[in-house]
Structure 1
Amino acid sequence: MPEFQHQPVVEIAHGASLLRFAPQTGGRLLSWHVDGQPVVHWPEAANWSQPSKIRGGNPLLFPFLGRHRVDGRLGFWRDAQGVVRELPMHGFARDLPFAATTEADGRTLRMTLADSDATRPGYPFGFHFEAVYRLVDEHTLDVELTTSNTGDTGDAALPYYAGHHFYFELPHTQRGETALELPPTQRRYQQPDGSISAPEPGKPRYTLDDPSILDRFHCLEGGAAQVRLVAPGLNRIVTIDLQRPGSIDWYAVTTWTEAPDSDFYCVEPWLGLPDAIHNGLGLRWLEPGATETAALRIHVAPTAATR
């Protein structure tokens, strides 16, 4: 098993494309390089003692994403019977080890997480959560998140709303010239009390220095769902196709970065909004024995190729 930053990793390569993963650390995609250049950001000096705090890669958000709270207490949720349970922000998946299998084609990694003694106190459901990354070609990556309710007939339906947290490489000095192109959306955000703001019409295009998209949810209105990150300074267009065959509908795309000098910008496809377990915005229910998949495709191309 190769090492990266003194950690065991799994590498998937095809032509000019190289993916690095740490299955034992939240099933995390660490980085994606195309033609030797980073597409998905990973810091040169990462603090592996607190992996969930590392700003990079693609943390997997499951079973809930974002912040949830009960009576002002962050990190708690209340079920239909009124029982209050503790569950960390963005769920527990990013903190737990996944089992991993590289398929025979050498281009596909399948990582799985199942319920255990570590998950049941805060989330008392039988589940199987799987993330599959597949290099279609050296510039195209398919990603699938599949959730199954492994409970028996008569057990409760499973509530969830999963998501991605892609950290895309972008020098902070290039935000003003880099554009985010979106399908029709309604823009929302989480207010200080945890509630979600009223929707307002979204724009089809923003530059990444626009403060109006910092920590904002771009709720998809249906139809074609393709998001583009156009970065002329990197000679790169990243296209995220959210309308894949057999996929359930994505609910929103969230945009966020940490600081004015952060050399990344996050574009995050989500199945719901924060606190959906209480507000219902994107909350999904799986009956015992049911399975569903949320799929997307990421394609990287030079900006010159589109002119």
Structure 2
Amino acid sequence: MKAGAVEAALAPAVGGSLAALRFAGTEILRTAPASSADPLQMASFPLVPYANRIAHGRFRFAGRDVRLPLNFGDHPHSIHGIGWTSAWHVEAVAQDSAHLTHRYDGDGGWPWAYEAQQHFTLFDDTIEMRLTLRNIGDEAMPAGLGFHPYFQADEDSSLQFQADRLWLAAADLLPVREVAADALGDWSAGAPVRGDGLIDNVYGGWNGSAIIRRGDGTRIELSASGASWFHVYRPPLSRDFCLEPVSHMPDAVNRPEGMESMEPGAEKTLSLRIAFTPADEALPQRDKIA
């Protein structure tokens, strides 16, 4: 797909993933290796019908005990849902847009039938991604959505966003304690992306906006709708990092607040807009998050 200086490539068979996103030849998201069939090597993939981890793949919902397959090697929890490991169908494609669908009949580890749709639209300096989940079964189900994009940071890249709180995680990466939002860095003022420690934590009360400023002056702005949680994944000393707008915290289905319940026929949508401003066009008055 292409619009102006923006180019994107899709990998529908690999979890309905975005395989590349470039602006004027520069990578905005990391580019997947040619012919890769691994969603973890893609530029971005969808999270559906839940985001992040469910502890030990077990939970209880509406009087039913549910056991999910452990779908991430020797990791002790189920992670990221079903969509990211499923092939998606191309419903429509144009020069600057595409529409993918993924239908699940409830015959695997997740006992509820659903249909998911992704819409991608390119503009001259923006990509818009919309993920929709619809309950096509005959009973209520828990439901969550998210996007898992991989950005790239040079030595001088910084990240800025606003949130109310941060959840610290145990060694198995499940959240265990709520602390101040600046406990791992004051992102509200802007802080360096790269570091020598692992960040794999979720922020609550996110205002739906984030800004990345690269060392070359390029500015990347995220804005999301339908996501009040923001999961930051920053491996130690890595060029790649993830900023994941999600509709719930990890393992929400096992927590007192629970995860949203969707009645039969109901829909839920999460949208992500990524806009790019090259170095020679970045304006100081746009630097502050409203």
TM-score, normalising length: structure 2: 0.84
- 2:180 corresponds to 1:200: yes
The 5 A counterparts of 1:68-147 are: 68-69=54-55, 74-87=56-69, 88=71, 89-104=79-94, 106-116=95-105, 119-135=106-122, 137-147=123-133
What SS does the corresponding residue of 1:283 show, helix, strand or coil? Answer: coil
Q: What is the aligned counterpart of 2:51 among 65, 72, 97?
A: 65
Change in 2 beyond 3 A, CA 1:259/1:199: closer
The 5 A counterparts of 1:260-299 are: 260=237, 262-279=238-255, 283-299=259-275
- 2:255 corresponds to 1:255: no
Q: 1:135-186: CA deviations, max 9, x gaps?
A: 1x221111111111112xxx32121112111001224xx1xx2211112331
On the 8 A contact 2:158/2:192 being kept in 1, the answer is yes
**What is the alpha-carbon distance in structure 2 between the residues aligned to residue 47 and residue 142 of structure 1?**
24
Paired residue for 2:76? none
**What is the alpha-carbon distance in structure 1 between the residues aligned to residue 27 and residue 164 of structure 2?**
29
Paired residue for 1:4? none
Change in 2 beyond 3 A, CA 1:47/1:15: closer
Please tell me the residue identity of whatever aligns with 1:214. Answer: I
**What is the alpha-carbon distance in structure 2 between the residues aligned to residue 90 and residue 123 of structure 1?**
12
On the 8 A contact 1:242/1:296 being kept in 2, the answer is yes
Paired residue for 1:187? 166
Paired residue for 1:23? 12
Change in 2 beyond 3 A, CA 1:181/1:86: same
**What is the alpha-carbon distance in structure 2 between the residues aligned to residue 276 and residue 181 of structure 1?**
26
Change in 2 beyond 3 A, CA 1:123/1:130: same
What SS does the corresponding residue of 1:42 show, helix, strand or coil? Answer: coil
Give the CA deviation at 1:220. Answer: 2.2
Give the CA deviation at 1:292. Answer: 2.3
Change in 2 beyond 3 A, CA 1:241/1:28: same
Paired residue for 1:165? 148
**RMSD of aligned alpha carbons:** 2.3
- 2:205 corresponds to 1:220: yes
**What is the alpha-carbon distance in structure 1 between the residues aligned to residue 215 and residue 220 of structure 2?**
11
Q: 1:265-294: CA deviations, max 9, x gaps?
A: 211111111111111557221111111211
Please tell me the residue identity of whatever aligns with 1:306. Answer: L
What SS does the corresponding residue of 2:276 show, helix, strand or coil? Answer: strand
Paired residue for 1:5? none
On the 8 A contact 1:273/1:282 being kept in 2, the answer is no
**What is the alpha-carbon distance in structure 2 between the residues aligned to residue 282 and residue 38 of structure 1?**
38
- 2:9 corresponds to 1:32: no
Change in 2 beyond 3 A, CA 1:148/1:82: closer
Q: 1:63-106: CA deviations, max 9, x gaps?
A: 1222222xxxx3333333242311431112111111113345x3
What SS does the corresponding residue of 1:277 show, helix, strand or coil? Answer: helix
Please tell me the residue identity of whatever aligns with 2:59. Answer: W
On the 8 A contact 1:85/1:121 being kept in 2, the answer is no
| Number of residue pairs aligned between Structure 1 and Structure 2 | 269
Give the CA deviation at 1:33. Answer: 0.9
On the 8 A contact 1:220/1:250 being kept in 2, the answer is no
Paired residue for 1:209? 194
Structure 1 residues not aligned, in runs of 5+: 1-11, 244-248
Change in 2 beyond 3 A, CA 1:288/1:95: same
Give the CA deviation at 1:47. Answer: 5.0
Please tell me the residue identity of whatever aligns with 2:179. Answer: P
**What is the alpha-carbon distance in structure 1 between the residues aligned to residue 234 and residue 35 of structure 2?**
17
**What is the alpha-carbon distance in structure 2 between the residues aligned to residue 300 and residue 280 of structure 1?**
39
Give the CA deviation at 1:114. Answer: 1.0
Paired residue for 1:6? none
**What is the alpha-carbon distance in structure 1 between the residues aligned to residue 35 and residue 166 of structure 2?**
33
TM-score, normalising length: structure 1: 0.79
**What is the alpha-carbon distance in structure 2 between the residues aligned to residue 195 and residue 214 of structure 1?**
12
Indicate the percent of aligned positions where both proteins have the same amino acid.
Answer: 21
On the 8 A contact 2:199/2:235 being kept in 1, the answer is no
On the 8 A contact 1:276/1:282 being kept in 2, the answer is yes
